[in-house]
């Protein structure tokens, strides 16, 4: 992460109680949220969001995970919103999830 100061990640496949090694990136701090709830260890992992933040900015930012698909990064007077919109399979559940995300972004 030598050329970027901020990176928003989607599909991290991080399990609920799992954490990445703190020093995975020499000059970046890692903030992650799992997208999986009650994962039982079978099937393909899914979801998850996160930020990689250059350590030079770490003291000046605040990360908020709104839900398992939306996160904000605030620094001084700037807010960056990271959004992971999942695939829409046209089911009622999928439509409802998208409506909830849009409402979160509108508020």
pLDDT in tens, 77-107: 999 999 998 777 888 888 888 888 888 888 7
Residue 65 belongs to domain spanning: 6-106
The answer to whether residues 72 and 80 touch, using CB atoms and an 8 Å cutoff, is yes
Longest dimension (CA), the chain: 44
pLDDT in tens, 41-88: 666 667 889 999 999 998 899 999 998 889 999 999 999 999 998 777
Tell me, yes or no, whether 40 lies in a domain. Answer: yes
- Number of domains into which the chain is organized: 1
Handedness of CA 80, 24, 9, 107 (dihedral sign): negative
Tell me, yes or no, whether 1 lies in a domain. Answer: no
Handedness of CA 16, 18, 23, 24 (dihedral sign): negative
pTM over 0.95: no
Cα 10 versus chain centre, distance: 6
């Amino acid at each position: 992460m030598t050329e970027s100061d901020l990176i928003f990640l989607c599909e991290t496949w991080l399990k609920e109680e799992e954490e990445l090694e703190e020093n995975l990136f020499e000059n970046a701090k890692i903030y992650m949220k799992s997208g999986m709830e009650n994962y039982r260890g079978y099937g393909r992992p899914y979801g998850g969001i996160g930020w990689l933040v250059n350590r030079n900015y770490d003291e000046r930012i605040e990360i908020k995970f709104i839900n398992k698909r939306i996160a904000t990064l605030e620094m001084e007077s700037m807010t960056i919103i990271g959004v992971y919109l999942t695939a829409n399979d046209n089911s009622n559940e999928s439509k409802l999830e998208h409506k909830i995300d849009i409402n979160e972004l509108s508020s």
